[in-house]
Amino acid sequence: MSYKLLNGKELSQTIKGEIKQEVDAMVANGHPRPHLAAVLVGNDGASETYVGHKVKMCDAVGFESSLIRLNEDTSEEELLEKIEQLNQQEDLDGFIVQLPLPKHIDARKVTQAIDYRKDVDGFHPVNVGRMAQNLPSYLPATPYGILELLERNNVETSGKECVVVGRSNIVGSPMSILLARNAKVGNCTVTLCHSRTKDLKYHTSRADILVVALGKPEFITADMVKEGAVVIDVGITRVKDDSKKRGYRLAGDIKFDEVAPKCSFITPVPGGVGPMTVISLLKNTLKASRKEIYT
């Protein structure tokens, strides 16, 4: 079967242009530039890269951005104080606290401390609850980006069997809710799999749409995928590779070379879901700045 790549890199460039145009028009009308802040605790290499990229993208579309760096040994209390300051900061539309956090900090407390009106990551229980009830909310960036990737490539979702592998709060779980909603991209019959799922292959191999967010490089092989399936690979893992200058390569959860020929659509890694995640964060920030969801 000849497959079509769901090219997130290309689509994210298109949407980046659209956002920039909107920002230019807003600013020309006297509206302040959207302002996003990112809090980075510690020196995790991958987190540094992700946050750096988010800041760069803010610049590219004409947003204000602030990067707040805190030491690895910042206490939970200090971080919560910082969050309260950001909640109160009037010229700030939205902010994120980059995950993962150091082990001594309870990520759930942090998520809940963020004012849901500034929660452009869409992780606060108010936004998650509103999402589940199909009310306007900030959608978590990765599933939001996947919806956009499906919509703009005219992938039909209604009535399809969808299997999501992985149930994290940031990807798998919200993805399963969104694809089951009665919405333009939705109306799937969804199965959510995780590490206790008894026969994973039984489920994955009957999926019309398979979304995999595991974090296990090349775990999904061709025998686990139905002919003609739409396959979304969320996984990004650094795998040691001495042939690369930086000493590693990025691997997805899908064994791309053998799975792709069976697919109708598939995302590459890198260049699939990753760039769409960042763009979705910008879209949420634009909505925050325009007070589209909360006044």
Active site residue 54: yes
Contact between 284 and ligand NDP by CB under 6 A: the answer reads no
- The token pair at 206 is 């009957």
Give the residue with the Cβ less far from ligand NDP, 82 or 173. 173
The stretch near ligand NDP (CB under 6 A) out of 28-36, 105-113, 195-203, 282-290 is: 195-203
Contact between 197 and ligand NDP by CB under 6 A: the answer reads yes
Q: Which of 274, 281, 283, 289 binds ligand NDP (CB under 6 A)?
A: 274
Give the residue with the Cβ less far from ligand NDP, 50 or 63. 50
Task: Tell me if residue 88 falls in helix, strand or coil.
Answer: helix
Active site residue 121: yes
Q: Which of 34, 122, 143, 172 binds ligand NDP (CB under 6 A)?
A: 172
- The token pair at 162 is 């969808």
Contact between 176 and ligand NDP by CB under 6 A: the answer reads no
Contact between 171 and ligand NDP by CB under 6 A: the answer reads yes
The stretch near ligand NDP (CB under 6 A) out of 60-68, 72-80, 118-126, 234-242 is: 234-242
CA gap 83, 65 in Å, rounded: 16
Beta bridge partners of 36: 65, 94
DSSP codes, 241-291: -TTSTTSEEEE-SB-HHHHGGGEEEE--SSSSHHHHHHHHHHHHHHHHHTT
Contact between 168 and ligand NDP by CB under 6 A: the answer reads yes
Task: Tell me if residue 238 falls in helix, strand or coil.
Answer: strand
Query: Which is the catalytic residue, given 82, 98, 208, 255?
Result: 98
Burial, 222: exposed, middle or buried (Cβ in 10 Å; 0-12, 13-18, 19+)? Answer: middle
Contact between 195 and ligand NDP by CB under 6 A: the answer reads yes
Chain centroid to Cα 164, Å, comes to 15
Give the residue with the Cβ less far from ligand NDP, 83 or 236. 236
**Least separation, in Å, of the C-beta of 111 and ligand NDP?**
14
Does the N-terminal peptide bond of residue 34 adopt cis geometry, omega within 30 degrees of 0?
no
The stretch near ligand NDP (CB under 6 A) out of 65-73, 149-157, 231-239, 257-265 is: 231-239
Contact between 51 and ligand NDP by CB under 6 A: the answer reads no
CA gap 202, 224 in Å, rounded: 8
Query: Given 3-state DSSP classes, what are the helix, strand and coil percentages for the chain, each rounded to the nearest 5?
Result: 40, 20, 40
CA gap 24, 33 in Å, rounded: 9
CA gap 228, 207 in Å, rounded: 10
C-alpha closest to that of 125 among 136, 117, 116: 116
Give the residue with the Cβ less far from ligand NDP, 166 or 186. 166
Number of neighbours of residue 136 by Cβ within 10 angstroms = 12
Active site residue 112: no
Contact between 237 and ligand NDP by CB under 6 A: the answer reads yes
Contact between 215 and ligand NDP by CB under 6 A: the answer reads yes
CA gap 107, 50 in Å, rounded: 18
**Least separation, in Å, of the C-beta of 213 and ligand NDP?**
4
The stretch near ligand NDP (CB under 6 A) out of 54-62, 76-84, 120-128, 160-168 is: 160-168
Residues near ligand NDP (CB under 6 A) are 142, 165-168, 170-172, 193-197, 200, 213-216, 234-237, 273-274, 277
Residues with catalytic function: 54, 98, 121
